[in-house]
Structure 1
Amino acid sequence: MFLQYQDVQEAEKLNTGKVVFAGVGNTLAGDDGAGIFMLRLLEKRLSGESRFRFIELEGDLYSIWDILSETEAFIFLDAVAGERPGEIREGKTLSKPFTPSFHQSDLSAVMDSLESLWQGRFPPWTLWGVTISPPEFLGEGLSPPVEAAAFEAVERIINRLETGGLESLLSPGGSDGRRAH
């Protein structure tokens, strides 16, 4: 269902200011589940914070349309392609050969499409990713370097929230502008 302009204005007045952490991936495809793994760690650590919402996106990335009007910002967590598994990346777009998702569409393209259709304030967003090799097998669990990087990414996210707030988390590299590696 697409919101009409008046509905968007009303929704913005009622905006609860939820910051949505969205884990993207498939936990049955090994390291591709890194985003869901990070989401579950963050949900445990931030469970007492009422301004946060945690969602799993295992398929259609466009499904976030349904929650745009009640979202202050999105923090996407995902596995991204990389030469060396286990590196942390952040930002809206990642330099080639890194792609934002192994899913049906890349996250940047999805967000650009949704923003062009949206009438009203579009929530700011960023992506926190852990590099992986393309999944070669089906099975649950992360490889040791990807699991270690997922834990480290969660620590960095928590630290960024505690020291610089949401704005710092949405800025690649935080307040000093450096990109995570």
Structure 2
Amino acid sequence: MLSKLQKIFLIALGGFSTQAMAADRPIQFPAYESAIVVSSTLSQTIGGRRAPGWGVGGEAIYSRDTFNTGGSLKYFPEGTDNPIFSVFVGSGYKRLLQLQVGYGTEDAIYRVHSEMDLPVVWTFTKNAMHGVFKRPGVLDYYPNNRFVVSMTWEKYDSARHLDNIAFGLGLRY
């Protein structure tokens, strides 16, 4: 039986080896979505009577085309003594919708993660308030602005009272 540290190492190694194969292929599309996003999050648990309430944390996620990997840290001050660490890999449609599975201090974790550029969200909201429902173009916001908003739904296998929804603000590198 593998220890928790060995399982985390194997998951991370699998993620890096898959990315090494992707690095050998030629870039076919000049506008591919590749990014490392480092963000801070605010979480709210969504389960049961023993739910610890709100929590804070952070995460770093690397996404390229359909592959993503990363790690997160969460701390629920009213319900856990130790912080919760997890490492995960996944697949999805660029950064807009990612399905992830991982392992951490609370055993297996399943995640649905989504990221959007903050200027796109801001411009879409501003246009929607005036009744214009169109996708923002490049000229509607600063293309070099790296701020990102994220939303994550997490489900823990062995600690259902920690299931949560998290909202984050971060930077894309």
Higher relative contact order (Cα pairs below 8 Å, separated by 6+ residues) = 1
Q: Greater share of helix residues, 1 or 2? A: 1
More strand by share: 2
Q: Taking structure 1 as the reference length, what is the TM-score of the superposition?
A: 0.26
What TM-score results when the alignment is normalised by the length of structure 2? 0.26
Pick the structure with greater CA Rg: 2
